[in-house]
Chain A
Amino acid sequence: MELKISDHKPVSALFKSEICVVDQNKYRKVHEELLKKMDKLENEFLPQVTVDQTEVMFDMVKFREPQYRDIIIANTGQVLAEFEFIKKLDDVSYCKEWLSITPFSGCIRPGEKCDLRLQINLEQPLEKIYDILVLHLIGGKDMFITVSGECQRSCFTTSIATLCRCPVPLLQLTSDQLKHAENQQSPVLYSVPRELWLLIDHLYRNGLKTRELFESIALHEEIIRIRDWLDTGSLDPIPGSIHAVAEALLLFLSYTRDPVIPYHLHDACIAAASNYQSCKQIVLQKMPDLDRNVFLYLCMFLQELLKYSNENGTDAKTLATVFGDILLRDPIRNSRPQANRGKASFIYHFLINDPSTLIIPNK
């Protein structure tokens, strides 16, 4: 029977008919042929894309120096391709915290392309950059994209305990020296990290009378130069403006592997915040020696700064707020904004009381 469509009025109908005899062999043949046809159609109409690279390599990745790579996804199929990055089993997100993907999902029409940007920003200590991303097509295949690169270590993400054991600047260390320092097998050589001392000493000599020392934002390149200067142990004078050095100090204290006041003491500090004696007890009895050294050294510097409040315009409350947030930073940044006042109150005590009673000579 030939199918024709009326040019005036399309007509269609459904027929219900009883079939008395079915030739099973023919029936099966038709059935299988139809299924084959459907399989073919279905596979043809699966979304298909290609990516221009499945290996994304980054150059040496350094602290707070973002890099990006672009990849292109092209829709080579016949239908709209909806893509998204999906998380691997047991992972919490579709990529690691040092990576961002924009866009991480989208739609591409047949024949069209889409650029994706993978950006790395390293803010934690990491031996190596390595992850496999799973790019999933809704209703279709998955593709794996491997992201890799080397990481350069930096004093900004190294623990205080390690830095105090480093005989030379971080990038001059042999891997053995570093390993021993990290495992706390080598002796403590400095009471505070050399890098911290360099930053604070510079501020002490040149910045006591500077206005808005910890409140202005330095150029990114200046911070990078200071980072390299500290990590390589350059003999040149410290690069960057006084404000950049101040910001570098804040960054240093914000990114050390653990906060200066260990996480497990935070609740106690906040609870004790209304009482200086209780605060003192925590610092004296609960804090690890090196962390206490750093804390008191910093407080003494801030007290020096406060002696010049007339010239630099700062006050103890402002400094307590800025440093409270950093020295008692949350495991997930700013996850407990309600605790900020308690943190500031805790620090405030150490800015207005004489800390010399807290100094214990090195054993």
Chain B
Amino acid sequence: MANRTSTAQRPNGATQGRICQFKLVLLGESAVGKSSLVLRFVKGQFHEYQESTIGAAFLTQTVCLDDTTVKFEIWDTAGQERYHSLAPMYYRGAQAAIVVYDITNQDTFGRAKTWVKELQRQANPNIVIALAGNKQDLANKRMVEYEEAQAYADENGLLFMETSAKTAMNVNDIFLAIAKKLPKNEQTTGPGGSGQGRRLVEGDTGAKTAGNCCK
């Protein structure tokens, strides 16, 4: 804890040590690549045959901005329609959402629009929503035009990018864009914030070990 606090107070580093934690949820029809986007973002990996998610997977990832560090608690949900009624458990209380569709499948774009509508109606009113047209590596089989999706995103105030979990195109960028757009004042939790006790333990231990200078 001591190490972190001193980092935060460093005069020339300004607020560099500040960590803001946000809950982010991924929504979208099954097989559009939600889990693949997360896997690429968090672990830098891609599996051609990613298993279908039956539940809600949980991972964390930190991104550094100029002035703050944003830590995402990522909930990757099951896309199958029968699990639809369970989605509010995950988007309720989320500060950010990535709604994913597959650019080679027009239906998934329609489904993405209904997810956006549902979020606008039922989620946190300040939620930052990003639309991700995934599988950009298959652009030769494209069924959803970039301009169409961009226009839809503009109309609804969404961030929009076409992504590819396979080639990593725009994957970090979309998370980064969300991190930038998120408000950093109210929900922010400074280092050592009470809610994150569990999650900061490992980091603290590490810091202490490094500080234990024995001769």
Q: Please, how many angstroms separate the alpha-carbon atoms of A36 and B86 in the complex?
A: 32
Check B152 for interface membership: any CB of A closer than 8 A: no
Q: Please, how many angstroms separate the alpha-carbon atoms of A35 and B198 in the complex?
A: 16
Determine if B89 and A88 form an interchain contact, defined as CB atoms under 8 angstroms apart.
yes
Check A360 for interface membership: any CB of B closer than 8 A: no
Determine if A89 and B92 form an interchain contact, defined as CB atoms under 8 angstroms apart.
yes
Determine if B206 and A11 form an interchain contact, defined as CB atoms under 8 angstroms apart.
no
Which chain A residue has the least Cβ–Cβ distance from B60? A42
Determine if B199 and A134 form an interchain contact, defined as CB atoms under 8 angstroms apart.
no
Residues in B54-110 with C-beta less than 8 Å from chain A: 54-62, 64, 69, 78, 82-83, 85-86, 88-89, 92
Determine if A134 and B86 form an interchain contact, defined as CB atoms under 8 angstroms apart.
yes
- Nearest-neighbour CB distance to chain A for B135, whole angstroms, equals 24
Determine if B89 and A11 form an interchain contact, defined as CB atoms under 8 angstroms apart.
no
Q: Please, how many angstroms separate the alpha-carbon atoms of A141 and B60 in the complex?
A: 11
Check A5 for interface membership: any CB of B closer than 8 A: yes
Determine if B82 and A146 form an interchain contact, defined as CB atoms under 8 angstroms apart.
yes
Contacts A42-B202, A89-B92 given; does A142 touch B55 at CB 8 Å: yes
Determine if A3 and B82 form an interchain contact, defined as CB atoms under 8 angstroms apart.
no
Size bin of chain A's contact surface = 35 or more
Q: Which residues of A contact B42 (CB under 8 A)?
A: 39, 43
Q: Which residues of B contact A28 (CB under 8 A)?
A: 16, 64
Check B195 for interface membership: any CB of A closer than 8 A: no
Q: Which residues of A contact B16 (CB under 8 A)?
A: 27-28, 31
Check A224 for interface membership: any CB of B closer than 8 A: no
Check A12 for interface membership: any CB of B closer than 8 A: yes
Determine if B13 and A140 form an interchain contact, defined as CB atoms under 8 angstroms apart.
no
Which chain A residue has the least Cβ–Cβ distance from B199? A42
Determine if A3 and B213 form an interchain contact, defined as CB atoms under 8 angstroms apart.
yes
Determine if B86 and A13 form an interchain contact, defined as CB atoms under 8 angstroms apart.
no
Determine if A32 and B202 form an interchain contact, defined as CB atoms under 8 angstroms apart.
no
Determine if B202 and A144 form an interchain contact, defined as CB atoms under 8 angstroms apart.
no
Q: Which residues of A contact B199 (CB under 8 A)?
A: 42
Q: Please, how many angstroms separate the alpha-carbon atoms of A72 and B109 in the complex?
A: 37
Check B12 for interface membership: any CB of A closer than 8 A: yes
Determine if A15 and B213 form an interchain contact, defined as CB atoms under 8 angstroms apart.
yes
Q: Which residues of A contact B140 (CB under 8 A)?
A: none
Proximity string of chain B (40-62) to chain A, C-beta cutoff 8 Å, 1 when within and 0 when not: 00110000000000111111111
Number of A-B contacts (CB under 8 A): 93
Q: Which residues of B contact A54 (CB under 8 A)?
A: 54-55
- Nearest-neighbour CB distance to chain A for B69, whole angstroms, equals 7
Determine if B215 and A143 form an interchain contact, defined as CB atoms under 8 angstroms apart.
no
When the two chains form the complex, which single residue of B92, B198, B213 contacts A13, counting CB atoms closer than 8 Å? B213
- Nearest-neighbour CB distance to chain B for A83, whole angstroms, equals 12
Check A10 for interface membership: any CB of B closer than 8 A: yes
When the two chains form the complex, which single residue of A35, A132, A139, A140 contacts B62, counting CB atoms closer than 8 Å? A35
Q: Which residues of A contact B214 (CB under 8 A)?
A: 3-6, 10-13
Q: Please, how many angstroms separate the alpha-carbon atoms of A217 and B176 in the complex?
A: 69
Check A332 for interface membership: any CB of B closer than 8 A: no
Check B211 for interface membership: any CB of A closer than 8 A: yes
Q: Please, how many angstroms separate the alpha-carbon atoms of A45 and B201 in the complex?
A: 11
Determine if B60 and A39 form an interchain contact, defined as CB atoms under 8 angstroms apart.
yes
Check A14 for interface membership: any CB of B closer than 8 A: yes
Q: Which residues of B contact A132 (CB under 8 A)?
A: 82-83, 85-86
- Nearest-neighbour CB distance to chain B for A351, whole angstroms, equals 50
Q: Which residues of A contact B202 (CB under 8 A)?
A: 38, 41-42, 45
Q: Which residues of B contact A140 (CB under 8 A)?
A: 58
Which chain B residue has the least Cβ–Cβ distance from A144? B55
- Nearest-neighbour CB distance to chain B for A6, whole angstroms, equals 7
Q: Which residues of A contact B55 (CB under 8 A)?
A: 54, 134-135, 141-144
- Nearest-neighbour CB distance to chain A for B152, whole angstroms, equals 28
Residues in A1-59 with C-beta less than 8 Å from chain B: 1, 3-6, 10-15, 22, 27-28, 31-32, 34-39, 41-43, 45-46, 54
Check B212 for interface membership: any CB of A closer than 8 A: yes
Q: Which residues of B contact A146 (CB under 8 A)?
A: 82
Since A4-B214, A45-B202 are in contact, a sample of 13 more A-B pairs with Cβ atoms closer than 8 Å, ordered by chain A residue number, is A3-B214, A11-B215, A14-B2, A31-B16, A31-B64, A43-B60, A46-B58, A89-B88, A89-B92, A132-B85, A141-B55, A144-B54, A144-B86
Query: Which 3 A-B residue pairings sit nearest by Cβ, starting from the closest?
Result: A143-B55, A141-B58, A12-B212
14 residue pairs from A and B, CB less than 8 Å apart: A11-B214, A13-B213, A22-B12, A35-B69, A38-B202, A38-B203, A41-B206, A42-B199, A43-B59, A45-B202, A88-B89, A141-B57, A143-B54, A146-B82
Please give the residue numbers on chain B whose beta carbons come within 8 Å of chain A beta carbons, in ascending order.
2, 10, 12-13, 16, 42-43, 54-62, 64, 69, 78, 82-83, 85-86, 88-89, 92, 198-199, 202-203, 206, 211-215
